[in-house]
Amino acid sequence: MGTDWTDNRKNLMLFSGRAHPELAEQVAKELDVAVTAQTARDFANGEIFVRFEESVRGSDAFVLQSHGGADINKWVMEQLIMIDALKRGSAKRITAILPFYPYARQDKKHRGREPISARLMADLFLAAGADRLMAVDLHTAQIQGFFDGPVDHLFALPILAEYIERKLDLSQVTVVAPDAGRVRVSERWTDRLGCPLAIIHKRRDPDVAHRVTMSEVVGQVAGRTCIVVDDMIDTGSTIIKAAEALFAQGAAQVIVTATHGVLSGSAVDGLKNSRISEVIVTNTLPIPDDKQFDKLTVLSIAPMIARAINEVFSDGSVTSLFDGNS
């Protein structure tokens, strides 16, 4: 005799690392479950200890950890240890949720004697005991192939685009790709919003890290509200240079959207002092008080993650979350 949905829900267990407990609590609220109680602490020498306070035997375990900031390596290790504890506690299936995939920008070798660290991350999660990975807006789609198992690649576009649709007159909007690598994502935005696309040809200074020089803007931006679309804002140099190039071509307003608000170094000061009118990100990463500023809008990714968890747990389809338009 089969068990009903109510009984099955007892097997769904949500676990949170210490990097971003607020996001885990939001996801738990959406799922109507509690984050599983655990003891997690650092020893004097920096080693991490984790123990769950209740049985995980037979559970469908979802382990959420955000990977950003100066402690990124610590948070990766903590999630690996949590997965190992679940495996040894006889969890039935373990899904590692990585809203911001660590080391995603190191996805290929540019020169000899360089690592492919994004692949190493996938290998580590597999070795620890993860059966499945879930991530939001991977830096490159090829990372999905690094993990030997299912990878649920979620898109924040519906959340970000819905906000733009409520806020702006779309007849005056141009979507802008800040470099060639973002063209495909920007095209999804134009399909959703029904707006024209502009592209900025970007050059990086090979001798100075993070220094970006901009070339020509291709597309109609004069007198229009430009929505610059990127997957992350790290130092902010790309976005700020893009905005300067757009204003130089007569843009009336520049708004920036990105899934991941890394906001390293002087990014906050640079964005605050720029002519950009609004910066819209999601909460895949925690944004502490010292990185909050008036132009910043943070949208919650929790409903999407909760929906994906429900689909995985009930053996439903996560495909609707892959297309970026759901």
Q: Which two tokens stand for residue 63?
A: 């382990």
| CB-based burial, 77-91: b 16+ in 10 Å, e otherwise | bbbbbbbbbbbebeb
Measured CA to CA, the distance from residue 244 to residue 247 in angstroms comes to: 5
Strand extents, DSSP E, 249-292: 253-261, 278-282
For residue 265, which of 290, 297, 299, 298 has the smallest C-alpha distance?
Answer: 290
Pairing relation of β-strands 38-42 and 48-52? antiparallel
Measured CA to CA, the distance from residue 257 to residue 160 in angstroms comes to: 7
Whether 162 contacts 214, CB under 8 Å:
no
Measured CA to CA, the distance from residue 241 to residue 141 in angstroms comes to: 25
* Phi-psi group of 177: left, alpha or beta (phi > 0 → left; psi -120 to 50 → alpha; rest → beta): beta
What is Dmax (Cα atoms) for the chain?
Answer: 69
Measured CA to CA, the distance from residue 101 to residue 267 in angstroms comes to: 20
Query: For residue 105, what are the β-bridge partners?
Result: none
The 8-class DSSP code of residue 264 comes to: -
From the candidates 202, 241, 291, 295, give the one annotated as an active-site residue: 202
Whether 250 contacts 217, CB under 8 Å:
no
Measured CA to CA, the distance from residue 88 to residue 27 in angstroms comes to: 25
241 is catalytic: no
Q: Cβ-count burial of 52 within 10 angstroms (0-12 exposed, 13-18 middle, 19+ buried)?
A: buried
In sequence order, the 6+-apart residues with CB closer than 8 A to the CB of 208 are none
Residues marked as catalytic: 202
